[in-house]
Chains A and B, each alone.
Chain A
Amino acid sequence: MIDNLGAYLSRRNFLALGASLAGAAAFAPRPAFAAAAAKPASLNMLYATSEADSDAIKAALPDFKAAFGFDVNLETMPYNALQQKVFAELASSSPYYDAMIVDTPWMPALTNKIEPITDMTLDSELSGDLDIKDFIAKVFFDTAVFKRDASNQHFPATDTVDPAAIKAAGFEIFGLPIQANVLTLAYRKDLFDDPAHQQAYKAKTGKDLAPPADWDEFAAVAAYFTDPSKRRWGTTLMAGAGDWATDDFKTLLAGFGGDGHMIDDKFETVFDSPEGVAALTYYADLIDTRKVTPPGTTSASWDNVATSFADGLTAMSMNYHDLSLIPTVKGSVAYAEIPRGKSVGPHFGTWMLSVNSFSKNKEWAYRAIKWFTSAATQTKALAHQLHPTRASVYAAAAADPALSAKFGNFYDVLGKSLAVGVGRPRLTNYGDVDRAIWVAVNNVARGAAKPEDALKKAAGEVRELLKQAGYKAI
């Protein structure tokens, strides 16, 4: 019996020792970074083109050199090529690019190849000047916070970014956001301010002419301005076969009270709901029945609508960046938040800078992306139309008269819209899901299908796709 007691006591001691070790480990100092890492001769960074405002980054390169003493070799590529390149480089475990720009929908597939920087953000020496709480929380959580082995899960958003809380919940930070895009409404200020138009509109509808506050007003204003004989239409819409059509649809879906994510956390399709049908019916109505959009809308994408608005063909346009008019169109542009229906949820998506897991200069790459996304760099980049991701930069933008002169109230509207933006569902095969939905939207927009049928068909395809990707409805 004494032997058994002895064994029992040893086991207890062993367990106690184990418990205290574990406890000590919880309070152990975090790994020290960077002081040991040697400065690299240069860093290679892969970036987008004007989608993420490469002009601003290019302009910042000399400042970077002055601050760090070495160069960043910047390579820029447009969206599709960039996505291919990022995926190919990461798939082959290439260490060539130290830092890469990543768009939000790519992250679910990449969580095993992008370096989590949560520990680096918690390191006081490395991140003393990070000021992570300055990042717009909603944008940060949607873009940069993922669970490595369950990349479809969302971190429950809070008001500020707290890396320790993120880590405690089993999530990681995978980059720092740099360019925040959200759908905003642009309109021809000169047309809206014109007394003749104001009187005529009031006479026609009994309301004042102003940027529409809800979707009914939107339709009314668009109808008022539509006059094909003068080559002018109310608004643009991106109803062509492509990702942009899905984005238009999910925005309206949110506006009509549905879930703008289209697929919920239980992997059920929620876009074929009555709200979805109502949204799509409204969309098709604008294009086919009231015809308030220019010809070619059902094959239009981002650049078509930007050109249409720039050429003075429409009074309003919804897009993801600031717009300008060609010199022969004498007018001015102002911005407003998109109309609100039962709810509001403009589509948003943000680019972030990340560290390549295979890079040989991870700490310096982190320092670099920290610098590029810092308040100082972003404030300077405002002049090149960067869409900031930090609250302080929006405040700086509001206080800068030169910016207002150049871009009107764009930054003000951008900041407000980001606060209510709705992102995409987190799926590794979002590309395929996206396509099933845009085919439905495009077919309905050109009158080739009824909203209810098209959405039902798309929902069936999406459920099949989710199954193929291994997402089981819980």
Chain B
Amino acid sequence: MRSLASIVARLVLWASAAAVLFPILWVVLTAFKPAEISQALPPVWDFQPTLDNFRNVLVGATYTSQSFGVLIVHSFVVTFASTLLGLLVAVPAAYALARLRFRGKHGAASWVLSTIMFPPVVSVIPVFIIASRLGLTDTWPVLVVPYAAFGLPMMIWMLRSSIKQIPFEIEEAAMMDGCSRSEILRHIVLPLLTPGVVSASLLGGMMSWNEFLFALTLTRSAVKTAPVGISEFTNMYGTQWGSLTAAATVTVAPILVITVILRRRVVEGLTFGAVK
């Protein structure tokens, strides 16, 4: 009986995967099609795959201002930095909210959550003006700090709930053994927190990777990121489908790779053998 359920489950999974991935498959397929036939109907299936779109996009032969390869690098830097900053700051905060009791905790927690309730389309203007006055436009911090801040509420709640999932007996045992709180945090809690950390990083990283509005407004060319670059392929006159899909494929590929690598860490079960 177990294996039948298993087979059904796998069938359902693969069928849904195919349906869900259809738009992405379309993007990848179109990226390898010669640009002129990308919009043809009936869809052209019999074509000579070409790398022209990728070459145009990465080397900058299209009418955009910078080569897309450079923008991907910028995106990597910004995403990595903001995710790391977010984690560094979120882990202690999550621990405090999970294990400690102090007055004002509820207020602080509500305030943290409220910082993401204001619409970015409005807050971007004062941020831009302030950044401009401080001379920070088109620098790394001007994106890294906001992105870390945007992801912080999510990271803090994820990590807080993950910490609460860890039975307190483990920490208690360590405290009885004389370990300090920070030692506990580093050597006991953190390793057990891996699935939460990885999930929070993946989610925060993807939000930063795809953020468009702040990147568009706060950067010019030195720190311009991939989403801003991709938007150049579509405009009033139409969309350059060959280039757009090639750029989109290049942007999505690292995510696929990273998610495959990290997935094991996400679903790793907690072992509580340490307690016993």
What is A's interface to B at a CB cutoff of 8 Å?
A: 48-51, 54-55, 58, 73-79, 81, 84-85, 88, 91-94, 96, 302-303, 306-307, 310-311, 320-321, 326-328
Contacts and interface: CB of A to CB of B under 8 A. Distances in A.
Contacts of B220: 75, 96
B128 A88 contact: yes
Contacts of B40: 311, 326, 328
B236 A302 contact: yes
Interface in B103-152: 125, 128-129, 132-133, 137
B39 A311 contact: yes
Nearest to A328: B40
Given A55-B63, A76-B65, A81-B216, A303 B238 contact: yes
Contact of B236 (A91, A96, A303): A303
Contact of A50 (B36, B129, B235): B235
Interface in B218-276: 220-221, 228, 231-232, 234-239
Contacts of B128: 88, 92
Contact of A76 (B63, B132, B216): B63
B216 A50 contact: no
Contacts of B221: 73, 75
Contacts of A48: 235
Name the 7 nearest CB pairs between A and B, nearest first. A78-B235, A303-B238, A92-B132, A51-B236, A76-B65, A55-B63, A49-B235
B216 A84 contact: yes
A361 B24 CA distance: 47
Nearest to B234: A78
A320 B236 CA distance: 10
Given A88-B217, A92-B132, A303-B237, A49 B63 contact: yes
Contacts of B231: 77-78, 81
A71 to B, nearest CB: 13
B238 A307 contact: yes
Contacts of B44: 328
Contact of B239 (A51, A58, A94, A303): A303
A302 B234 CA distance: 11
A73 B231 CA distance: 19
B73 interface: no
A58 B67 CA distance: 14
Contacts of B161: none
B16 interface: no
The contact size tier of chain B is 20 to 34
A306 B239 CA distance: 10
A373 B36 CA distance: 31
Nearest to B133: A92
A73 B137 CA distance: 17
B64 interface: yes
Interface of B: 36-37, 39-41, 44, 63-65, 125, 128-129, 132-133, 137, 216-217, 220-221, 228, 231-232, 234-239
A49 B39 CA distance: 21
A78 B244 CA distance: 13
B217 A84 contact: yes
A94 B132 CA distance: 7
A50 B39 contact: no
B103 to A, nearest CB: 41
Given A78-B235, A311-B39, 12 more contacts: A50-B236, A51-B236, A73-B221, A74-B65, A75-B65, A77-B232, A84-B216, A88-B125, A91-B129, A96-B137, A311-B41, A328-B40
B125 A79 contact: no
26 contacts: A49-B64, A50-B238, A74-B65, A75-B65, A78-B235, A78-B236, A79-B235, A79-B236, A81-B228, A84-B216, A85-B216, A91-B125, A91-B129, A92-B128, A96-B137, A302-B237, A303-B234, A303-B236, A303-B239, A306-B238, A310-B39, A326-B36, A326-B37, A327-B36, A328-B37, A328-B40
A76 B39 CA distance: 25
A246 to B, nearest CB: 14
Contacts of B228: 81
Nearest to A310: B39
B129 A76 contact: no
Contacts of B236: 50-51, 78-79, 302-303
A50 B125 CA distance: 27
A91 B137 CA distance: 14
Nearest to B238: A303
B113 to A, nearest CB: 28
A75 B37 CA distance: 29
B237 A306 contact: yes
Contacts of B133: 92
A321 B125 contact: no
B40 to A, nearest CB: 6
Nearest to A321: B237
Contacts of A92: 128-129, 132-133
B217 A85 contact: yes
Nearest to A73: B221
A75 B65 CA distance: 5
A311 B231 CA distance: 24
Nearest to A325: B36
B98 to A, nearest CB: 40
A94 B137 contact: yes
Given A85-B217, A88-B125, A311-B40, A76 B238 contact: no
B245 to A, nearest CB: 15
A2 B40 CA distance: 98
B178 to A, nearest CB: 56
